[in-house]
Structure 1
Amino acid sequence: MAALGVGLGVSGLLTYNAGLFARDLAGAIGLSRTAFGAAFFGSTLAMAAAMPLVGRLVDRFGPRAIAAFGAAMLSVGFLALSQVRSVTLYIIIVVLIGPLTAGSTPVPYTRAVSAAFDRARGGLALGLTQVGIGLAAAIVPPVIGLVIARQGWQHGFLALAMLAALGLLPALLGLPGRSPHSGSPGDEDHAAIRASSLFRLQYAAFCTMAFAFAGMLSHFVPMLREAGMPVERAGALAGLIGGSVIVTRILVGWLADRIEPAWLGCASCLVCA
C-alpha cells in the first residue's frame, strides 16, 4: 500500500509527466520553455519549504490524514491545470501544487514503514516502498502521452487528476491514523538535529541531487518533442526511466543494508554524473 501511495503522489505523477504537456501548452496559452521551467522550479522550492512542516505534522497527527490531504490537493491541482487559460495562471497553479501536495510525497509512507520494522528499516523495506514511484514513472507517461495525442492536453490533466484521486485509497486504508511511535520529537530535539553536521551534509547532498534530477526529468520530454518526436513516443521513452528506477530502488535498498550507505551514495552520484 505504501508503494502504491507514493506512486500516485506528486513524486510519481507530476515530476515524470509535466514535460508531456509543455509543447501543447505552448500552442494553447503561449507557454515558453522558460516559463515552464520557472513554474516547475518554483513548485520544487515551495515544496521543499513545506517539507519540514509536513514532517512535523506527520509526527503529531499521524501519516494518514497528511497523506490523504496531499492526495486530494494533487487531484484538485490537476483539475485546475486542465482549465488553465493563461501563462500566469499556469505558473500560479503549478507553484501552489508544490506546498499543498507535499503530504503526498513519500514522507508519510516511509515514516509508517520505518516505524513498522525493527531491522533493516533503512534499506530494503524503504527501497520497496520507493518502487511505487518507478512503477508510476514507467506506466503513466506512455498512457498520458496517448491520451494527449488522441484527446488533447486537457484530457491528459483530467486523467492525472483521476489517478491522483486514487491515491486517497492507500492513504486512508493503508496508513495508521496516528504515528506508530509513541510521542514525537520536541523543539529541542529538532534543534539538535538541525545543528548536527550530519544533517547539514545530508541536506546539502539532497539539494544538489534534487536540482540535477529535477532539471533533467522536467525537460527530457520537451527536448524530445522539439526534436520532432510525437508525444506518445516521447512518453514511451520517458517510461524507460521509470523502469530503471524500479530496479535501482530495490538494488540500492538491498545494498544499503549490507554496505556503508555513504559510499553507496557516492557511487550512485558518480554513475549519474
Structure 2
Amino acid sequence: MPHTTDTPSPPRPAGARRRRVTVHRAWVTALVAGLTIVAAAAFAAVPGLLMEPLHDEYGWSRGSIGLAASVNMLLYGLVAPFAAALTDRFGLRRVAVAALAVVVAGAGLTTLMTASWQLTLYWGFLVGAGTGSLSMTFAATVAHHWFTRRRGLVVGALTGASAFGQLVFLPALAWIVDQQGWRPAVVTLALTATVTALLVALVLRDHPADLGLRPYGATEDVPRPAPERGAATRALRVLYASARDRRFWVVAATFAVCGASTNGLLWTHFVPAARDQGMAVTTAAALVSAVGVFSLAGTVLSGWLTDRVDPRLLLALYYGGRGLLLVSLPALLGPEAGVAIVAFVVVFGLLDVATVPPTILLCRRVFGADGAVVFGWVGAAHQAGAGAMAVFGGLVRDLTGGYGAVWLVAAALCALAAPLALRIARPEEGDRAQKGDRPEEGDRAA
C-alpha cells in the first residue's frame, strides 16, 4: 500500500468559527421570576369563576363573596411594600418560597370552609398576602437587581406575566369548575404553587454578586446591597416620607383607578356579567383569558415605549382609551361572542396592564433608591381601588340585578385619571441626587 500521511484540515475562516452562545444568568432569573408571577397571578382569576358556584352551593350573597375578593385584593396591595422591604432584608428566594407556602395553605383551607367568613380569612387574607408578596414590586426588584439595561422591557415582560398567568389557567379552571366543581380547580392551583416553590428554591438567586456576575448591561461590578434591617419600619418610613410629596398622591390616585377598572371590575365581574346576558361561562372565561393574551403583548410593548416616551403621556393615553372601551361594553355584551366583543377584548387587553411599566419608572425617577418600596405603596392604592370596585360591583348586582351602572362608573374614573396623569411633575435632578439615584441606561432608549 502506498504510504499516506494525515494532513491537517485547513483552518476555518475567522468568520466561520463557531461562537459559543451564552445566556446571561439575568435572563434565567427573569424567566423563573416570571413563572412565579404566573403561578401567583392564576389565583386572581378565581373569584370571578367562584362567585356563582359559591352562591348556588351556600346561598351566600354576591356582596359577601365580593367582600372576600375585596380583602384579597386589598391585602395583595398592602403586603407589597412590606414584601419589598423584606426582600431587601432576606432576599428574593426566601420571600418567594415563604409567600408560595402561605398561598398553598390558604388555597387548601378554602376547600374545607363552611362559612363565608372563612372564605374571607383563607382566600382574602392568606392567599391575598401570599400573592401580594409576588406582585409588581417583586418584578421591579428582580429588574433592579439583575438588569442595568433593558429594565423597562423586563418590567413590562414580568408584569405581563401576571396577565399571562390568568391566560394560561383561566380556560382550564373554567372547564374544571363547570365539569368537576370549584374545589378541584382550587386544588389544581395549590399544586401548581407547590411545584413553583420547589423551582424557586432550586434556581432563583437574589443578586448577580451571589454568583460572581454583573447585572445585565453593567460595565463594572455591582456589590450586593447590605441587608436592610427593620423591614416594616423602613416600609412605614418610606410611606411617611413619600406621602409628603404631592406627586406620590397623584401617582397613587391614577393607579387606584387602574385597579378599579381591571382587577376589581373586569377580572372579578366580567364572567358573571356575561352569564347574566346568556353567555356560557366557558365562553366568557375564554374572553377574559384572551384579554390576558393581549395584556402580555401590551405590557411588553408598553415597557419598550416607557424606555423612549414620556411615561406621563403614556398613562394619559392608556386611561383615556380604557374609559372609552368601558363606556361601550354594556352595548357589546350578549349571549354570543361576536366581532364587537372580540375587538373590545383585543384593545382592552393591550391597555390592561400597560400602565405598570410607566408607573414603576415614575416611582423610580421621582423617589430614587426607595422607588421599589414607594411603588409597593402605590400598588396598595391600586388594590384598594380594585377591592372597592369588587364590592361595589357585587352590591350593584344584588340591588339592581345588573352591572350597567358599574361599567359607567369605572369609565368616569378613567376619564378623570387621564388628565391627572399629565399633572405628575417631572423630577428635578436635585431630587435624584439627594435620593442617591441616577438615570439608568435602561431608563433611556436602548
Give CA-to-partner distance per residue, 1:6-55, whole Å, 9 cap, x none: 1111xx11222221111111111112211121111122223322222111
Match runs of 1:20-35 below 5 Å:
20-35=49-64
**Which ranges of structure 1 fall in alignment gaps of 5 or more residues?**
none
Pick from 105, 129, 144 the counterpart of residue 135 of structure 2. Answer: 105
Please tell me the residue identity of whatever aligns with 1:115: H
Are 1:232 and 2:263 matched, yes or no? no
Are the counterparts in 2 of residues 22 and 222 from structure 1 also a CA contact under 8 Å?
Answer: yes
C-alpha spacing 1:165/1:231, structure 2 compared with 1 (3 Å)? farther
C-alpha spacing 1:179/1:90, structure 2 compared with 1 (3 Å)? farther
Bigger Rg, which one: 2
Higher helix share: 1
Distance 1:95 1:132 in 2: 22
Corresponding residue SS for 2:149: coil
Are the counterparts in 1 of residues 107 and 123 from structure 2 also a CA contact under 8 Å?
Answer: no
Distance 1:55 1:67 in 2: 11
Distance 2:249 2:274 in 1: 37
Q: Which residue of 1 aligns with 2:301?
A: 251
C-alpha spacing 1:270/1:185, structure 2 compared with 1 (3 Å)? farther
Distance 2:162 2:130 in 1: 19
Q: Which residue of 1 aligns with 2:177?
A: 148
Distance 2:250 2:228 in 1: 21
CA drift at 1:232: 2.2
Of 101-110 and 211-220, deviating more is 101-110
**Which ranges of structure 2 fall in alignment gaps of 5 or more residues?**
1-31, 210-223, 324-446
Are 1:260 and 2:310 matched, yes or no? yes
Corresponding residue SS for 2:264: helix
Distance 2:277 2:193 in 1: 30
Structure with the larger RCO, 1 or 2 (CA within 8 Å, 6+ apart): 1
Give CA-to-partner distance per residue, 1:85-128, whole Å, 9 cap, x none: 2222222222212224422223234302222111231x111111
Are 1:5 and 2:36 matched, yes or no? yes
Pick from 71, 78, 85 the counterpart of residue 49 of structure 1. Answer: 78
Corresponding residue SS for 2:121: helix
Match runs of 1:65-214 below 5 Å:
65-96=94-125, 97-121=127-151, 123-177=152-206, 181-183=224-226, 187=234, 190=238, 191-214=240-263
Distance 1:157 1:89 in 2: 15
Are the counterparts in 1 of residues 157 and 299 from structure 2 also a CA contact under 8 Å?
Answer: yes
Please tell me the residue identity of whatever aligns with 1:19: G
Are the counterparts in 2 of residues 109 and 175 from structure 1 also a CA contact under 8 Å?
Answer: no
Distance 1:218 1:27 in 2: 17
Distance 1:16 1:70 in 2: 18
C-alpha spacing 1:113/1:170, structure 2 compared with 1 (3 Å)? farther
Distance 1:113 1:52 in 2: 16
Distance 1:184 1:209 in 2: 33
Distance 2:193 2:42 in 1: 8
Residue correspondences, number = 270
Distance 2:228 2:250 in 1: 21
Are the counterparts in 2 of residues 127 and 252 from structure 1 also a CA contact under 8 Å?
Answer: yes
Are 1:14 and 2:63 matched, yes or no? no
Distance 2:136 2:202 in 1: 16
Distance 2:272 2:281 in 1: 9
Are the counterparts in 2 of residues 145 and 235 from structure 1 also a CA contact under 8 Å?
Answer: yes
Corresponding residue SS for 1:17: helix
Percent same amino acid among aligned pairs? 24
